[in-house]
Structure 1
């Protein structure tokens, strides 16, 4: 089994899910008392949030790169950045590494293939929804169509992520707002919904919707385990 490097803490609420799913996945695949070989460095998300507000993605890229290099030097065989939005700097990070970075967009595309869907709705931070670091590989590399919510809905999603989810608050009234946003995307033609922030799946469950959900944490974990176990 290869060793998975994980940059966590963005936010730590979803990093807990990464750790759990990686270990559950190994146990399911190998059985017995097997667990996942993980090297994790968990960052102080406040520092990154400050840089995001300044739109300083070069600074974020530099910080992530140093953390990634620390993980590589400690013996990781591959790297996960445990946050959708931080993949804005994925190319910068990968360019400094010898080990592969498992990009979350590739993991999303694999799940879309399994679901046999072509048109996807995307939920996430405004950075994830409005910039192209997720949508571009999905459209250019995999030929998928990506829809995003309207401006008002994007604000609701972004604010809930930073003001609720990152503080461990998952509120039923917010869930209802998400369900309405998802229903509108479905009316617009979406065949599945990308939960493109690693905390959203802690709020919205498959039973809440009539449309398939692509949980990016689970997708990312599955891609990492496939690589770690050479499957």
Structure 2
């Protein structure tokens, strides 16, 4: 089994989900007492958010690179960034650390292609929705991504990811608003919805929508397992 390194704490909630999903998937495939051989470097989320809010991605890159160095020194053969937004610097990080960084958007695009979908709704932080790093990976596979039009909706998603879901807080009011936003994207032609933040699966479940959902946390975790067992 290959050893992987998880960059976590962005947030701890999704990092816990990654650890659980990866270990369950390894055990389902290998049985017995087999579980994932992995390392976790977990950040103080407040430090990451402060940099990102200031658009200081260089400082965030330096922090993540330091974490990757620890993981590489511990024997990690690939890096898993346990957050969608952090993939803004994934390609740069992969080149600098000289290890594969299993890219969440690339793996999601491959899953969407399996269903032959061409137009997809993307929900996530404002960074993920508005910047090109995620959408470009989809476009390379012939997939058009659409995002909420309303600034109010985008602000709501961004705020609740950090102030509610990232703290493990889930309310019916927030769930209802997320479903309303997702259904607006479906009305605009989305053939599926990407849960493009690792906390959004807390409020949107497969049975909640009339189109397929793409849980990036689950997709990414399975890709990590495939790497470990390759």
Range class of TM-score, shorter chain: over 0.9
Alpha carbons 1:84, 1:104 under 8 Å: kept: yes
SS in 2 for 1:211: coil
CA deviation after TM superposition for structure 1 residue 162, in Å = 1.1
Distance 1:199 1:19 in 2: 14
Counting only pairs closer than 5 Å after superposition, residues 62-81 of structure 1 correspond to structure 2 as: 62-81=62-81
SS in 2 for 1:41: strand
CA deviation after TM superposition for structure 1 residue 115, in Å = 2.4
Runs of 4+ deviating beyond 4 Å: none
Deviations 1:140-181 (A, max 9, x none): x21111000112211111111111111211111110001111
The TM-score, its normalising length taken from structure 2, stands at 0.97
Counting only pairs closer than 5 Å after superposition, residues 93-172 of structure 1 correspond to structure 2 as: 93-139=93-139, 141-150=140-149, 151-172=151-172
CA deviation after TM superposition for structure 1 residue 4, in Å = 1.2
Deviations 1:31-78 (A, max 9, x none): 111101111111111100000111001111111111111111110011
Distance 2:121 2:85 in 1: 16
Distance 1:188 1:210 in 2: 14
Deviations 1:69-103 (A, max 9, x none): 11111100111000001111112211112220101
Counterpart in the other structure of 1:197: 197
CA deviation after TM superposition for structure 1 residue 189, in Å = 0.7
Alpha carbons 1:6, 1:82 under 8 Å: kept: yes
Counterpart in the other structure of 2:36: 36
Alpha carbons 1:195, 1:213 under 8 Å: kept: yes
Superposition CA RMSD, Å: 0.9
Contiguous gaps of at least 5 residues in structure 2: none
SS in 2 for 1:100: coil
Distance 1:20 1:210 in 2: 28
Alpha carbons 1:65, 1:92 under 8 Å: kept: no
Contiguous gaps of at least 5 residues in structure 1: none
CA deviation after TM superposition for structure 1 residue 134, in Å = 0.4
CA deviation after TM superposition for structure 1 residue 116, in Å = 2.4
Equivalent residue pairs, number: 229
Counterpart in the other structure of 1:21: 21
CA deviation after TM superposition for structure 1 residue 222, in Å = 1.1
